[in-house]
A = this chain, B = another copy of it.
Amino acid sequence: MNIESYLNAESALIEAAMAAFMPEAAEPLGGHVEAMRYSLFAGGKRIRPILCLAAARAVSGELEAVDALMPVACALEYIHTYSLIHDDLPAMDNDDLRRGKPTNHVRFGEAAAILAGDGLLTDAFALLTNRQYLRLPQAAILAIVGQIATAAGSFGMVGGQALDIANERKDVSFDLLRTIHQYKTGALIRCAVLCGAIGAGASDAQLAAMDGYGRQIGLGFQIVDDLLDSTATREKLGKSAGSDAKHGKATYPALFGIEKTRNLAQEAIDAAIQSLALLDNKADPLRAIARYIFDRSR
């Protein structure tokens, strides 16, 4: 399979769905919705929703199952986008560029940016439970809401960001670095994979395989992100490069050097693919995505 065209086609489907789920709004709320849409349609890689849909396809292969998961996939992207808006705030990483554009608070002001983030986070849960789009069994959608809230909350993404901020400019052990990554990035990526599998009616064995894949790919993704931050340019990233070093953040390259870090990324990706051993060729997109994530680092 051609992974580039697969990812482009999936991105286009997801963006069309998000545009339908969050159309421009009339006054009085037009300005607030514009601020949310500004970041939502700023052209991310859509890796979380793509993983969610690919996991559903790997389990069921039926188009309807994948289709029914579109609100879940988009809700994951709302939540990822909110986290970027809040992470970029002056009180947090104070970044002015994201995906090649001014960050949300630079464009709309700090108060509007905080509220755009709050809105995306809350609206994600409204989208997940919107009767108009609800085609999954009630038990599945409840399990999915629980997975997402847990992965995004205080013992997931938010907790990871809190830990990351609290440990800036401190001596961070490898154990703590791994914990920060697991919470901050790993939890939501693993969750995206699990939600796709749950929505498609995965068996316990399939869920266990997806869990292993999700954990390893989340780890690999973060290691590659650290690598890119330390080696790529601002132009290539579309955001400030060297941001981790600027904030005195612990990273894999800082702890292990570039070569060892690249090996660790490769190991995580190999382990992710290994986790899928019991799944047939319907899981090939998941395998290709794993390889693609590693190839970003070169």
Q: Is B122's CB under 8 angstroms from A32's CB?
A: no
What is the chain B residue whose CB lies nearest that of A125? B149
* Cα A139 to Cα B142 with chains together (Å): 9
What chain B residues lie within 8 Å of A5 (beta carbons)?
none
Q: A84-99 CB contact bits vs B (8 Å, 1 = yes)? A: 0010010110000000
Q: A residues 88-147 with Cβ under 8 Å of B?
A: 89, 91-92, 109-112, 114-115, 117-119, 121-126, 128-131, 138-139, 141-143, 145-146
The answer to whether A158 has its CB under 8 Å from any CB of chain B is: yes
Set B109, B126, B139, B154: member contacting A119, Cβ < 8 A = B154
Q: Is B146's CB under 8 angstroms from A130's CB?
A: yes
* Cα A35 to Cα B148 with chains together (Å): 22
Q: Is B123's CB under 8 angstroms from A29's CB?
A: no
Query: Interface size class for chain A?
Result: 35 or more
What is the chain B residue whose CB lies nearest that of A130? B146
What chain B residues lie within 8 Å of A130 (beta carbons)?
146
Set B29, B33, B141: member contacting A142, Cβ < 8 A = B141
The CB with the most chain B CB atoms within 10 A, among A33, A92, A122, is that of: A122
What chain B residues lie within 8 Å of A156 (beta carbons)?
122
Q: Is A111's CB under 8 angstroms from B123's CB?
A: no
Binds B, one of A162-170, A195-203, A226-234, A257-265: A162-170
What chain B residues lie within 8 Å of A86 (beta carbons)?
114-115, 118
A105 to chain B, nearest CB (A): 8
What is the chain B residue whose CB lies nearest that of A32? B162
Q: Is A150's CB under 8 angstroms from B126's CB?
A: yes
The answer to whether A161 has its CB under 8 Å from any CB of chain B is: yes
What chain B residues lie within 8 Å of A176 (beta carbons)?
28
What is the chain B residue whose CB lies nearest that of A150? B126
Which secondary structure dominates where chain A touches chain B?
Answer: helix
* Cα A138 to Cα B31 with chains together (Å): 36
A146 to chain B, nearest CB (A): 4
Provided the pairs A162-B32, A163-B32 are in contact, do residues A92 and B111 lie with their beta carbons within 8 angstroms? yes
Q: Is A126's CB under 8 angstroms from B139's CB?
A: no
Set B112, B114, B153: member contacting A122, Cβ < 8 A = B153
What is the chain B residue whose CB lies nearest that of A31? B166
Q: Is A153's CB under 8 angstroms from B92's CB?
A: no
Q: Is A29's CB under 8 angstroms from B159's CB?
A: yes
What is the chain B residue whose CB lies nearest that of A36? B154
Can you give 24 contacting A-B residue pairs, CB < 8 Å? A28-B163, A28-B179, A29-B155, A32-B154, A32-B166, A35-B162, A86-B114, A91-B111, A112-B166, A115-B165, A117-B118, A118-B118, A119-B153, A122-B152, A122-B153, A123-B153, A123-B154, A125-B149, A126-B149, A126-B150, A128-B149, A129-B143, A129-B149, A138-B138
